[in-house]
Amino acid sequence: MRFVRCKFARLFAVSLLLLLSCGVYSFKGSLAPHLKTVAVPLFENRTAEFGIAEELTDALIDEFTRDNSLKIADRSSADVLIEGVIVRVNDRAGAFDQRERVQDLKVYITVKIKCVDQVKRQVMWEERITQWGSYDPAGGPDARLDGIAEAIDKISQEVLNKTVSGW
């Protein structure tokens, strides 16, 4: 009986140690302490794709809101400013069937983004980001919009990670 209690106590101790060491991971610790707010003004759209600037801007704001590392603020009072230009949206065949018909298409979105620390007045990072979303060409215009939404989600996640990670 004593052996069982001792074994149980060791198992409990190891389990507790593992539980305590596996806390919630967050990028919050990577941010400079003076950075608490972010502004994401409407992106510029240099493509013929209607409404994409609003979609991307909204997705970025939603991503930062969900993450909660930086609070959304007005451009004039924010510690971090994220500005961007959508420079390209294009569709390419992704996969073909045995008869060489297109099975799925990929819509690629390229965005030029600059992230500025407005407190220290320096560029934190600046980059061209290209992401894609796939869709079934037989699905019509709504399927393509789903592909665009997928690409926008990937871009917003990448921007968030680059901004709050400090890498």
Count of Cβ atoms closer than 10 Å to residue 53 Cβ: 19
Q: What is the pLDDT of residue 56?
A: 98
Give 38-65 pLDDT, tens digit per residue: 999 999 999 999 999 999 999 999 999 9
Tens digit of pLDDT for each residue in 107-160? 999 999 999 999 999 999 999 999 999 999 888 889 999 999 999 999 999 999
12-35: average pLDDT: 55
Closest CA to 127 of 114, 118, 108: 114
What is the distance between the alpha carbons of residues 82 and 103, in angstroms, rounded to a whole number?
A: 36
Q: What is the chain's mean pLDDT, rounded?
A: 85
Length of the chain: 167
Q: Which CATH code of 2.50.20.10, 3.30.365.10, 3.30.160.150, 2.60.120.10 fits the domain covering 28-165?
A: 3.30.160.150
- Indicate the DSSP class of residue 75: T
Check residue 26 and give its pLDDT: 44
- What distance in Å separates the CA atoms of residue 80 and residue 35, rounded to the nearest whole number? 7
pLDDT surpassing 80 at residue 11: no
Domain positions in the chain: 28-165
The CA–CA distances, whole Å, from 51 to 35, 38, 58, 151 equal 30, 23, 11, 14
